Amino acid sequence: MTRKSYAKVNIFLKIVGKRDSYHQIASRFVLVKNLYDEISFLKKEVDSFTLEGNFSCSLEKNTIYKAYKELEKYESVKEFFKKNIVKIEKNIPEFAGLGGGSSNCACFLNMVNEVCNLNLRKEELAKIALKIGADVPFFVYEYNSANVSGIGEIVEEFIEDSLDIEVITPKIACDTGLIYKTFRDKFYKELDKVKAKELFDTNSKDILKQYNIEDANDLYLPASFLEKDLKNFAKKDWFFSGSGSSFFRINSGKN
């Protein structure tokens, strides 16, 4: 079994409040269909859960391993991964605002749910997903485009035309936690609920026609404050995804 684990971009990302140490967001997540990792389950007898791939973190910190630990209470899951290993072909840059780790985690959850016949509903998988990361529930639902709110746990499908998204990722490692802290300390502002609803009702192309890079993503200013070189990539019609460092634009299909 092999599945594509897609990247995402945030068409907009606005902060609407705080919840303890978390920030509450209003955001439009859109899958990038031309950028994906591939996750495979391969038959192989092993003594313990085995994950193969080129990662920058230890096994214990990998989102797929964390997902496995949440599911190993099911006997069918434990038995399956004594006879199968997980292999990932990585293409999505890490620490780039593209949700690669979150996407891998969600893809794994969906695959295990199917192959081990767990029969968990998407809502149940999303609750497990949220324990691992705020962006993971979006990927569990497998929507092409969705409005995401709360701390990431509220995911509502948004129907719109598919977008041709081009992504560039500078070799700049953005620290998400530090960027949020800098936003809170130096750039804090909240979007009111009326404006958030307007954004949620508007298609992605129209939002990007109305907004510039700073207005679309509240994390761009703190990110570029911390990493000055990001400003070199903030060209006309390019936008910033998540906490970076990736930039994206929508191609119209015109030459």
Residue 13, annotated as binding a ligand: no
98 is in an annotated binding site: yes
Is 96 annotated in a binding site? The answer is yes
Q: Is 82 a catalytic residue?
A: no
In Å, how far are 20, 93, 98, 249, 252 from 36, measured between CA atoms?
Answer: 33, 10, 10, 17, 21
Asked if 231 is an active-site residue, the reply is no
Q: For residues 113 and 129, give the distance between their C-alpha atoms in angstroms, rounded to a whole number.
A: 13
Q: Pseudo-torsion of CA 145, 28, 194, 217, nearest 10°?
A: -160
Which is catalytic among the residues 4, 8, 66, 131?
Answer: 8
Per the annotation, does 95 bind a ligand? yes
253 is in an annotated binding site: no
Determine whether the annotation assigns residue 150 to a binding site: no
Q: Of residues 82, 135, 197, 237, which has the active-site annotation?
A: 135
For residue 93, say whether it is annotated as part of any ligand binding site.
yes
Binding-site residues for ATP, in ranges, read: 93-103
Catalytic annotation, residues: 8, 135
Binding-site residues, in ranges, read: 93-103
